[in-house]
Chain A
């Protein structure tokens, strides 16, 4: 199996992590194609948050495994990716939200995750810059954190290259050749390449790639906007998030604040433009929760895409129509944090047919015929 030719489509964090893990597991013949530059997709546009407090058990497990790997990232890859475990503080503003937080924490604790439930008073004491007006409770997981997504993406790619993976940027896979439900090769502007295994890690373009290979995916892509401020001295350690108020915000190690929100009115499709409305809504909302922001300035605002499946959980594993096609797509707003565990699990699956840490059956594409467990903790 290790000599088989494996082609990966997509040079974001997911494709890069798969390439790296295949290479350290000994795969000899791995080629990665990226139609743009490394981190040009969602990865280079994301918030970089790393959280384990999920409502769906499968996500908690994947995230916990990833955190293990982020903790050893520097030793393992030799790259400092500005990783910091400052925790995630989730704020509940409604009774219903508070109740579901308490249920989530119960499940998360069953999985062995250390999570605290905080009263508004203790939030005020520990994070005095938060205006707790209207907050009913908070949950705080100290091992959650964040990292620099560009650096993490570059680290995986560079290490993969050093281990022999061929990486071609600015090279789009334009045709996938199949014969009797198997992928036989792919076409780029550089020519034709025969392959034994094809991996779809194409993020927002996941459905297009699946279609090229003669299959299909129930995924759609939605624009998400995000903005960043001028840097100031570091003081806010946790990433702060609310689902009902619809926001997340963190301070990077470099000092600037990154923040975003979802937009329920967004239409599916690729759209890189930004709206002034977003800046106004974020400013109005967040200067209330974090009043110190009033004197800070926005320096940049951009957008990227969430690739969404019907249950807001990823699709990881073998295609059900094309047998040598694998997917790692549909990561919604949390593909960055899951990438280490996903790369490891999918590489194992491709090379050995089984996984050692994660049960991928929660994420297979046949689940959409079963009853869905929707991930609710998303912005």
Chain B
């Protein structure tokens, strides 16, 4: 019976984080023979490493500490008769004939033939290129959390954290709890990325969060002995005169997460690039079903978000699978969970996730929904898009428009309204707006490119033909852009028109001049540096797949986890082709290197 359960489960859940565990509980409560596989020593995913109290919804254990939530979920799973869990077991691939599973403790690879698969494998960490980025003493934030919170081992005494998202902020707090010094958190943009409350907690401890700062290089020959940081200018380039040295022995990179999509890719599910959700994510519907019929996803893998949403998504996926397996109607419960999700996602901090999901045709209403409406029927026309929604006493847009196309009305506090019939596309309003909230846009420019006019008040002013970096509303570099024309203005608000991939017309809102990056490592397995990549691009390897094969990026034992997003980034910067165009690298099994000994036949014949 047990063998049958392992080899032919009705539902295979890959990943035992909050998403996978919640799904397992739901499925087993409905009597579905479920197998849950996780490669960690303990179940719980990201939760086991979190010592802080979680936000969210009471129903989903808000205000409990992360590892406590894991314990509750794991207990419930353990009590259920229909779930079997395997830990220290990696799913190495979704093959044509079977799902391959490698048990590290037994050194054995098994084949599994599940009816349905739910992939809830979470995310992996982004890497960053800077000189010395490969030295011992430089860790991903997750690695430090594992060492500190799981093994009780501090890898150093004085820490520098790069990135002020929730992960960087929480890590700082956890290190302080463990008795280490956190010298600073550096953040390249002008604002803290994580929640204000997390930041306040860290600041109260006297840990400085240095916005507009970046890590310039690591100091040290055989390991990290220090770090050079500097302020950055408006182009995110370090200002040399502001460089200073910090004496630290550990540098933690907390620069974001990338969904672990390898397995869903292997299963043949379609991926789409959604910057707001963390990069390439599986296309999926409201019920968490991918484009492959019996393959579902949930949690960070479906889009980097929160434990609460991961749990709800896991449940929705499991309920849908139960419906199909048992021919039941569970739509009421699913509706209830959908409602929870939409309330959760309606807040301003979910704005990014909402925007991301919208790209898949999944719509969640925001409470202060930002008006980035498409303008159907007007794609061919150059016209202003006004992103001014807060009632403020202001009306230069109305008064500057020579044709009376913009109306603020009697009350100067009213947000402006535009009549595109009257608008001639002159761009005067965009130059006049003190809020720099008006952008000129023509979706259909040439081919599949759009034209965007961006108000620009920095030096140097780009020239026609320049290649510049295009940034989204959060300051993320999303692509390169070509400058098509530059309208200089007496009031010093110049309009720079760029052409950009059409998909990006409604996300790009800023440009910066590209900087030249110093030599740094892209790929650890093969020692490939940023310089190597740049040289190869110059030699004509502008196709991502050709570049990979030429330099062996992503062909090492890491399977491209550390290097492929960096390499893609460099290619985007250098060639101006957006990641939308540069199709994702194919994922090839096994996603975890497996010894031949574990694959050898013999054992199976006995069983």
A and B touch in the complex (CB under 8 A): yes
Nearest residue, chain A, Cβ from B602: A284
In the complex the two chains form, is B588's CB within 8 Å of A301's CB?
Answer: yes
What residues on B are CB-neighbors of A293 within 8 Å? 596
Which residues of B, 471-521, contact A by the 8 Å Cβ criterion? none
Which residues B567-607 have CB closer than 8 A to chain A? 586, 588-590, 593-597, 599-602
- Proximity bits, B82-104, A CB within 8 Å = 1, else 0: 00000000000101111110000
* Interface check B555, CB cutoff 8 A: yes
A254 to B549, CA, bound (A): 13
Please measure, in the bound complex, the distance between the C-alpha atom of A271 and the C-alpha atom of B586, giving whole angstroms.
Answer: 14
The residue that B590 contacts in the complex, of A277, A286, A298, with Cβ under 8 A, is A298
How distant is the Cα of A279 from the Cα of B556 in the complex, in angstroms? 18
Minimum CB–CB distance for B114 against chain A, Å: 13
Measured CB to CB, the closest approach of chain A to B217, in angstroms, equals: 29
Contacts of B602 in A (CB 8 A): 284
Q: Which of B324-332, B399-407, B457-465, B539-547 has 4 or more CB atoms under 8 Å from chain A?
A: B539-547
Contacts A276-B95, A283-B596, A294-B597 given; does A230 touch B588 at CB 8 Å: no
Enumerate chain A residues within 8 angstroms of B590, measured Cβ to Cβ: 279, 298-301
Return the chain A residue nearest B599 by Cβ: A283
Produce 1/0 per residue, A160-173, CB < 8 A to B: 01000000011000
In the complex formed, the residue of A with least CB distance to B111 is: A276
Q: Does A31 contact B (CB under 8 A)?
A: no
**Nearest CB of B to A297, in Å:** 4
Q: Given the known A-B contacts A40-B545, A275-B95, A300-B588, are A154 and B550 also in contact in the complex, defined by CB atoms under 8 Å? A: yes
* Choice from B266, B589, B593, B597 contacting A287 with Cβ under 8 Å: B597
- Chain A residue at minimal CB-CB distance from B581: A170
Residues in B with CB closer than 8 Å to A284 are 599-602
Residues of B within 8 A of A282 (CB): 599
Against B, the Cβ 8 Å flags (1 = close, 0 = not) of A194-210 are 00000000000000000
Inter-chain contact A44/B597, CB cutoff 8 Å: no
Most buried by B among A228, A274, A282: A274
A280 at the interface (CB under 8 A from B): yes
The smallest beta-carbon distance between B103 and chain A, in angstroms, is 14
A75 at the interface (CB under 8 A from B): no
Q: How far is the CB of B557 from chain A (nearest CB, A)?
A: 5
Complex CA gap A345/B259 in Å reads 50
**Contacting B593 at CB < 8 Å: which of A151, A230, A283?**
A230
Q: Chain B's interface: helix, strand, loop or mixed, by majority? A: loop
Complex Cα distance, B392 from A38, in Å, reads 56
- Taking a contact as CB atoms under 8 Å apart, the answer to whether B593 and A274 are in contact is no
Decide if A276 touches B600 in the complex (CB within 8 Å): no
**Which of A37, A275, A300 has a CB less than 8 Å from the CB of B543?**
A37
Cross-chain contact B596 with A299 (CB below 8 angstroms) = no
Interface size on B, residues (CB 8 A): 37
| Chain B: CB-nearest residue to A223 | B96
Question: Does A158 touch B at the CB level, under 8 Å?
Answer: yes
Q: How far is the CA of A271 from the CA of B96 in the complex (A)?
A: 10
- A298, B596: Cβ atoms closer than 8 Å: yes
Contact with B along A210-240 (1 / 0, CB 8 A): 0000000000000000001010000000000
Which residues of chain B are near A274, meaning CB under 8 Å? 93, 95-96, 588-589
* Interface residue? A39 (CB, 8 A): yes
CA–CA, A271 and B268, complex, Å: 11
Q: How far is the CB of A48 from chain B (nearest CB, A)?
A: 12
Residues of B within 8 A of A24 (CB): none
Contacts of B96 in A (CB 8 A): 271, 273-275
**Is there an interface contact between B600 and A287, defined as CB atoms closer than 8 Å?**
yes
Set B266, B543, B588, B596: member contacting A38, Cβ < 8 A: B543
* Residue A180, interface by CB 8 Å: no
Q: Could you give, for residues 557-572 of chain B, a 1 whenever the CB lies within 8 Å of some chain A CB and a 0 otherwise?
A: 1010000000000000
Residue contact A298 to B546, C-beta cutoff 8 Å: no
Cα(A275)–Cα(B588), bound, Å: 11
Cβ of B589 and Cβ of A150 under 8 Å apart? no
Chain B residue contacts of A150, Cβ below 8 A:
549-550
B266 to chain A, nearest CB (A): 8
Q: Are B549 and A298 in contact (CB under 8 A)?
A: no
Asked whether B223 is an interface residue with its Cβ less than 8 Å from the other chain, the reply is no
Residue of B nearest to A294 (CB): B597
Let me know if B593 and A298 touch, CB within 8 A.
yes
Chain B residues close to A by CB (< 8 Å): 93, 95-100, 109, 111, 266, 268, 539-541, 543, 545-546, 549-550, 552, 555-557, 559, 586, 588-590, 593-597, 599-602
> Which positions in A face B, CB cutoff 8 Å?
36-40, 44, 150-151, 154, 158, 161, 169-170, 228, 230, 254, 271, 273-277, 279-284, 286-287, 293-302
Sorted nearest first, the 10 A-B pairs with minimum C-beta distance are: A283-B599, A297-B593, A273-B96, A284-B601, A150-B549, A275-B97, A276-B95, A294-B597, A37-B543, A283-B596
List 17 other contacts, CB 8 Å, given A169-B543, A276-B93, A300-B590. A158-B539, A161-B540, A170-B543, A274-B96, A274-B588, A276-B111, A280-B109, A280-B601, A283-B601, A284-B599, A284-B600, A294-B600, A295-B596, A297-B596, A299-B555, A300-B555, A300-B588
Q: 24 A-B Cβ contacts within 8 A?
A: A38-B546, A39-B546, A154-B550, A230-B593, A271-B96, A274-B95, A274-B96, A274-B588, A275-B97, A275-B98, A276-B93, A276-B95, A276-B98, A277-B97, A279-B594, A280-B599, A280-B600, A284-B599, A284-B601, A287-B596, A293-B596, A295-B597, A301-B93, A302-B588
